[in-house]
């Protein structure tokens, strides 16, 4: 199980990569492993907005349907259309090609309560 150190994490199993005033969001290796084979993804439209701790999309696997929760509030600047057409990429590369959305960061305060890789790994171990 991977926990890249350059990312931040949520307790809902999303990851965030901050680059300037843009945050790239996806689901963690743990989340995709728990879900099993991903067969469908629904994401918000480019130009729309997301709200911290509110659902922004859905991921469906052979096991379950799960909401995706936004780790921050802001405007969606880019959507990864490739995973809509090939949702299995989420299982293959959750931290790379299978990112979901890019969001213009509305407030740095939204990032304050995200977990480090070590904190997220500890959270996962306690959750099992």
Q: Return the domain boundaries, the chain.
A: 12-107
Q: Which CATH number fits domain 12-107: 2.60.40.1930, 2.40.50.100, 3.40.50.720, 1.10.3720.10?
A: 2.40.50.100
How many angstroms separate the CA atoms of 91 and 39, rounded? 10
3-state secondary structure of 97: coil
How many angstroms separate the CA atoms of 51 and 7, rounded? 20
**C-beta of residue 106 within 8 angstroms of C-beta of residue 72:** yes
Q: Is the dihedral of CA 80, 91, 64, 104 positive or negative?
A: negative
Q: What is the pLDDT of residue 108?
A: 85
Global pTM reads 0.95
3-state secondary structure of 68: strand
Q: Strand 49-50 vs strand 55-61: parallel, antiparallel, or unpaired? A: unpaired
Q: What is the pLDDT of residue 123?
A: 96
- Other CB atoms within 10 Å distance of the CB of residue 12: 16
Q: What is the pLDDT of residue 128?
A: 73
Please give the backbone phi and psi of residue 17, each rounded to the nearest 5 degrees, phi first: -115, 120
Q: Closest by alpha carbon to 103, among 66, 128, 78?
A: 78
pLDDT in tens, the chain (128 residues): 889 999 999 999 999 999 999 999 999 999 999 999 999 999 999 999 999 999 999 999 998 999 999 999 999 999 999 999 999 999 999 999 999 999 999 888 989 999 999 999 999 999 87
Six-digit token pair at 122? 């500890």
């Amino acid at each position: 199980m991977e926990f890249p150190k350059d990312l931040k994490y949520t307790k809902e199993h999303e990851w965030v990569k901050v680059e300037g005033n843009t945050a790239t969001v996806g689901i963690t290796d743990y989340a995709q492993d728990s879900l099993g084979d991903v067969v469908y993804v629904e994401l918000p439209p480019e130009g729309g907005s997301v709200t911290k701790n509110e659902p922004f999309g859905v991921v469906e696997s052979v096991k379950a349907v799960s909401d995706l929760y936004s780790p921050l509030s802001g405007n969606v600047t880019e959507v990864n259309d490739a995973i809509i057409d090939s949702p299995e990429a989420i299982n293959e590369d959750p931290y790379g090609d299978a990112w979901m959305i890019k969001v213009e960061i509305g407030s740095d305060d939204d990032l304050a309560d995200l977990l480090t890789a070590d904190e997220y790994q500890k959270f996962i171990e306690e959750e099992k």
